[in-house]
Amino acid sequence: MAFVPPDDGDGYDGPATLLVGGEVLAVAVHLAGHLEPLDGLYHWYGRIDGTPDVVALKEGGATTGELAIGDRAPAPVRLAELDVWGHVQVNGAGAPPYLLEPVDVDLPF
């Protein structure tokens, strides 16, 4: 099943830079994520819109790279699979390539 980003304003839809080996590609991404309480990491996922260059990388065997949005540091990304529409499904764990809204947490003492 293809990833469909939520309508709740979380995540990111827009331009990004995909870095794989020596390749640097301008791409469009649709990303969302959640904090996974079992491992304490933020898991993010989504898709890169299919373009001939992105599809060629994936079909050429690329499985990992980095994804950068704006001036944020690149985040490691796994290029999971091509979907039936020609988009590349992606995921990562840890700090996402997009900015997260701050969250206030009250801890009981």
pLDDT digits (tens, 9 = 90+) for 65-87: 999 999 999 999 999 999 999 99
Domain that holds residue 74: 27-93
Q: Is residue 22 part of a domain?
A: no
What are the DSSP calls for 54-100, one per residue?
HHHHHHTT--EEEEE-TTSPPEEEEEEEE-TTSPEEEEEESS-SSPP
Confidence of residue 88 (pLDDT cuts 50, 70, 90): very high
Q: Is residue 99 part of a domain?
A: no
Distance CA 105, CA 109 (A): 13
Distance CA 47, CA 90 (A): 5
Q: Is residue 6 part of a domain?
A: no
Q: Is residue 102 part of a domain?
A: no
Q: What is the pLDDT of residue 77?
A: 98
With a pLDDT cut of 90, the percent of the chain lying above it is 78
Task: Give me the chain's average pLDDT, please.
Answer: 90
pLDDT beyond 90 at 56: yes
Distance CA 42, CA 35 (A): 4
Q: Is residue 104 part of a domain?
A: no
Query: What is this structure's pTM?
Result: 0.84
The total number of structural domains in the chain stands at: 1
Q: Is residue 41 part of a domain?
A: yes
pLDDT beyond 70 at 25: yes
Q: Is residue 85 part of a domain?
A: yes
